[in-house]
A and B are shown apart, each in its own frame.
Chain A
C-alpha cells in the first residue's frame, strides 16, 4: 500500500521500563532464593505483561495515520509551526499521544499530551526548528505513546516530503534607501504634502490618515510621526542588493527582509533587486510574499 511506504514503528524501552525490568529481576532472584513459586508466577506474569504492553502500545500508534500537514511560513531564528491532522480509525481507546516533526534543521520539540477526538481525528500544532533560511522539506512526522504502562515508548515515524520556506531573519541597521519617483499625482498637486520624495518626519495630527505614520518609531516608544513625501502620489522604493555593499550575503538578505517587512507595514510600494532576480514594484500581501520567497530562495539556482 502506498500509504505505508516510508512508515516505521519503533518500540524502545524507557528508563521506567529499565526500572521495571530490574524489579522483575529482583523478584526473580527472591523467587529462586526462597524457592517461592508464587513469586515465580508474579515475575513471569510481569514479564508477559511487559511484552504484551509493548505490543499494545505499538498496535495503537501503528493504527494512527497522518491525514494532513499544513505548514505556516516562518522566519529563520524562529520555529516553523505546522498543523498536523492525525486520524485513528476504528474502535478502541485513544490514549495520549506526543507528536513532533523533523525538517531541514532536525527534529522539533515534542508536543503533547494530545488526545484524539472521539471520532478519531485530531489537529495539533507542532514546531520544527528553523535556523537557516532557504527552502526545505519536511522530512518526517512522528507520534509516540507510552501507553499502557510507560515502560515502552512506541513511536511511529512517517516519511513525508512537504516543501516549506524559511525566510531570512529580518535584521539590519542600514538606513532606508532613497525612494524614487514613480508617478505624479496631478489631481492633488504639489502643494499637497504627498509625493515621491521622502521629505522627512513631522508629528501626526488628529484627523490625519494613519497610513503614513511611521509605525516603526511608534513601536520604539516615540509619539506618532507622519512620513512626509514631496511630489504627491505614491512613492516607489527599490531595495537593491547592490546598495548593501560591504555586508556578507546572509546579512544582506536579512537587511533586505527587514526593509521588505517595514515597507509592507507602511504600505508603500517597493521593488526588490537581487543579483539573479528582481521583483517589480508593487504592494500587498501577495507581493510581500513574492519578495520574501525570492529572498528565501536566494542562491538556490546556482
Chain B
C-alpha cells in the first residue's frame, strides 16, 4: 500500500518576514568584502519586497524581474569586468538572490531562498575565517532555520522558531565537532583557487627597502607572527632577530633583493640548529617566511635560498604554521662567497656623495680589516651626533643616504642599515641588508612570543673572509635599548634621543610604565591574541598534519581515510539515536495530567471487563461504559464530561486536571472477567 499524496504547505506572512530577516543577515555578512553596489542593490530589493508585502501590492511581473536580473548582471559586470572568480561570483549570487526574493510566493521558492542564504554564509567564509565570522555565520544559520520552522509551524502560535532552531543547532554541535576532527583532510585543491584564497594584503612589508619605509609600519600594533620555542629556552631579547629577506642591490635610494638563481645556495646544511621554533605567521602575500636568525632546518614545502633566506613554495595568502630550527648568535659560518654574490654585495650606486668618499678614505688609512672598519662606522654613529627618530624629516631625494649621514643625522633603523651598508661597500667590505623583525613581547597568558608590525627592523651583515657573514646592527649602536625593548619603545625614541643618559633611563621607565587603562587593554589584547592563536591553530589551520597529531595524542594511530569515514558514519548513527532521545515527544516522556486521567480511566474500565479500543472517543466510551456499569452510570458520565470540557473546551480552569484525577481514582468499578 503506497502512502497518501503530499500536500503543499501554504506560505505565511510571518514565515516570509523571517526569511527576509535571514536574507538581510546573509547579505550583511558580505558587506565588508564586496563592492558597494551589489550589496546595496540587494538591500534595496529587499526593502522593496517588504514594502510591497506591507501594502499588499502585487509582486512585479516576470518581465520586470527579468529586466532586474539582467540589470544585476550588468552591475556585477561593470564592477568587475568579468564573472569568474570569487568576488564577482559572490556578488552575482547576492544580487540574483535578491531578485529571486521578489518572486517568492510558495514554499518551493521559500526553500530556494533559504538555500541561497546557506550558500551566502559559506561564501562569507571564503573571505574571512576569523572567529567573529563563524559566530555571525552561526547566527545566519539560526535565522534561516527559524524561518523554516515558522513556515512548517503553520498557524500555530505555540512555536518559538528561534528557540527551536537553537535546539537543533545545539543538538548538532557534538556531531559537527566529531566530524570536524575525524573527517579526512586532503592535500591540495581539486581545482585552482581562482582568486578565492586571497585574504592577505595587510602586512606592511614590501620586498624593497627605502630608508624611511620601515618607519611607516611602526605605528601598527598588529601581530605578525607568534613563536613558541620547542624544548629549549627562548633566546634573550637581544638575540630575537627574525630574519626575513635579504637586500643586495641599491640605486642609492632604494634597496632591492635582486634575482639570484636558487642553485647558488652554498649554505644549505642539514645541521641541527638548536632553537626549534613553532611559528604562526599571518599572511603577507609574499613568499618569504620568518625565523630566528638564521634558519637551518626548514619544513617541507619551503627552502633556504641564497642569503639564508627562508622561503615558502608559494605566496603566503593565509595564516600558516611551520616548524623551523635556527642557530642563533649572529654569525652565519660560510667558507667562501660565490663570485656573483660577492659582486652583488659590493655593488654601489652610480653617484656617490664625495663627502662620504672622504670619510671612508680616512678610515681606510687606519684600518683594513672588515671587523675594525665596522667598529669605526659604529663609533662614528655613536659619536657624531646621530639620533634615532620616527620623524627624520625630509631628506634630499637625489641622495638620501648622503644627506642623512652628513647633514640631518636623524633616522630610523632603515636609514642606519642603509648608511652602514653603503659605507662598508665603499670600504670594499661585502655587505648586505637584512629586513625582518627584532624584539617582540611575551604574552603572559600562554608564554608565546608575539611579534608585531612595530617590531619591524633592518640591519646589516658583513662578510668576514673565510669565516662567514656577521650580523652588525647599527641601530643598536645608537639606541641600545631598542634591542631590549623592541618596538614598544618607538613612541619614546624621539624624546629619549634628545636627553642626556640620565634622562634616558627615566624616559625608559616612563615608556614601560602603564596606567590602569593601558594595563586592561593589554590584558584584553593578550587574551584575544591567545584565543586567536588557538583559533588559527586548531580550527582555521586544522589540516591532516594537525589531525594526525591530535589523533595520535588521543591514542588513535594509523587510521586511514576509509577508517575515519567509517567512524564518521558510526557517529552519525549514534547522533540519530541521541537526538531521537533528546527530541522524544513530551508525551513519550511523561503524559500530561489529562492524558494520565484518561489512561487511568481506561485501565479501570478494562479491569471491569470492558474493552476500550484506542480509536473510541470519550463520548463513545461513556455510552459503552454506562451500558456496561449501570450502577456507576452517573459517575462515569460526569467524569467523562469533565474530561471533555478540560480537553476540548476553550478555557481550561486551573486545577481541573487534579480534581479529575482524584475523581477517577475514587471511581470503584466491579471487577469482572471479560464477557
Interface residues as binary, B1-25 with A (CB distance below 8 Å gives 1, 0 otherwise) = 1111111011000000000000000
* Inter-chain contact B6/A150, CB cutoff 8 Å: no
Q: Which residues of B contact A59 (CB under 8 A)?
A: 580, 583-585, 588
Q: Which residues of B contact A218 (CB under 8 A)?
A: none
Q: What is the CA–CA distance of A53 and B172 in the complex, to the nearest angstrom?
A: 9
Interface residues as binary, A41-62 with B (CB distance below 8 Å gives 1, 0 otherwise) = 1111111110111111011101
* Inter-chain contact A95/B586, CB cutoff 8 Å: no
* Inter-chain contact A160/B615, CB cutoff 8 Å: yes
Asked whether A113 and B620 contact (CB < 8 A) given A19-B115, A56-B583, A59-B580, the answer is no
Interface centre among A49, A106, A112 (most CB of B within 10 A): A49
Interface size on A, residues (CB 8 A): 93
Q: What is the CA–CA distance of A227 and B6 in the complex, to the nearest angstrom?
A: 51
Q: Which residues of A contact B592 (CB under 8 A)?
A: 89-91, 120
Q: What is the CA–CA distance of A85 and B156 in the complex, to the nearest angstrom?
A: 17
Asked whether A92 and B614 contact (CB < 8 A) given A51-B175, A110-B6, A119-B649, the answer is no
Asked whether A35 and B185 contact (CB < 8 A) given A62-B585, A94-B158, A148-B145, the answer is yes
Asked whether A52 and B134 contact (CB < 8 A) given A66-B615, A88-B587, A96-B9, the answer is no
Interface segment, one of B75-83, B293-301, B439-447, B535-543:
B535-543
Q: A115 CB to closest chain B CB, in angstroms? A: 5
* Inter-chain contact A34/B615, CB cutoff 8 Å: no
Asked whether A55 and B580 contact (CB < 8 A) given A89-B591, A93-B159, the answer is yes
* Inter-chain contact A23/B183, CB cutoff 8 Å: no
Q: What is the CA–CA distance of A22 and B152 in the complex, to the nearest angstrom?
A: 21
Asked if B179 is an interface residue, CB under 8 A from chain A, the answer is yes
Which 6 pairs across A and B sit closest by C-beta, in order of nearness?
A63-B585, A48-B172, A96-B154, A90-B586, A68-B617, A55-B579
Q: What is the CA–CA distance of A27 and B137 in the complex, to the nearest angstrom?
A: 14
Which residue of chain B lies nearest to A32 when distances are taken between CB atoms in the complex?
B186
Q: Which residues of B contact A158 (CB under 8 A)?
A: 614-615
How many inter-chain contacts with C-beta < 8 Å in the A-B complex?
287
Q: What is the CA–CA distance of A68 and B189 in the complex, to the nearest angstrom?
A: 60
Asked if B153 is an interface residue, CB under 8 A from chain A, the answer is yes
* Inter-chain contact B587/A63, CB cutoff 8 Å: yes
Interface size on B, residues (CB 8 A): 94
Q: Which residues of A contact B167 (CB under 8 A)?
A: 52, 56
Which of A3, A16, A51, A145 is B172 in contact with, Cβ under 8 Å? Answer: A51
Q: B114 CB to closest chain A CB, in angstroms? A: 9
Which residue of chain B lies nearest to A45 when distances are taken between CB atoms in the complex?
B176
Asked whether A33 and B616 contact (CB < 8 A) given A38-B133, A107-B3, A145-B152, the answer is no
Q: Which residues of A contact B154 (CB under 8 A)?
A: 95-96, 113-115
Which residue of chain A lies nearest to B647 when distances are taken between CB atoms in the complex?
A121
* Inter-chain contact B190/A96, CB cutoff 8 Å: no
Which residue of chain B lies nearest to A140 when distances are taken between CB atoms in the complex?
B1
Q: Which residues of A contact B614 (CB under 8 A)?
A: 2-3, 65-66, 158, 160
Q: What is the CA–CA distance of A264 and B155 in the complex, to the nearest angstrom?
A: 43
Q: Which residues of B contact A119 (CB under 8 A)?
A: 594, 646-649, 652
* Inter-chain contact B617/A67, CB cutoff 8 Å: yes
* Inter-chain contact B591/A51, CB cutoff 8 Å: no
* Inter-chain contact A27/B183, CB cutoff 8 Å: no
Q: A19 CB to closest chain B CB, in angstroms? A: 6
Q: Which residues of B contact A33 (CB under 8 A)?
A: 189-191
Asked if A109 is an interface residue, CB under 8 A from chain B, the answer is yes
Asked if B560 is an interface residue, CB under 8 A from chain A, the answer is no
Asked whether A149 and B149 contact (CB < 8 A) given A38-B129, A48-B172, A119-B649, the answer is yes
* Inter-chain contact B652/A42, CB cutoff 8 Å: no
Asked if B632 is an interface residue, CB under 8 A from chain A, the answer is no
Which residue of chain A lies nearest to B137 when distances are taken between CB atoms in the complex?
A42
* Inter-chain contact A148/B168, CB cutoff 8 Å: yes
* Inter-chain contact A109/B617, CB cutoff 8 Å: no
List 6 A–B pairs whose Cβ atoms lie within 8 Å, in order of A's numbering. Answer: A33-B191, A37-B541, A88-B585, A115-B155, A140-B1, A150-B148
* Inter-chain contact A142/B584, CB cutoff 8 Å: no
Asked if B254 is an interface residue, CB under 8 A from chain A, the answer is no
Asked whether A52 and B579 contact (CB < 8 A) given A42-B141, A92-B585, A93-B164, the answer is yes
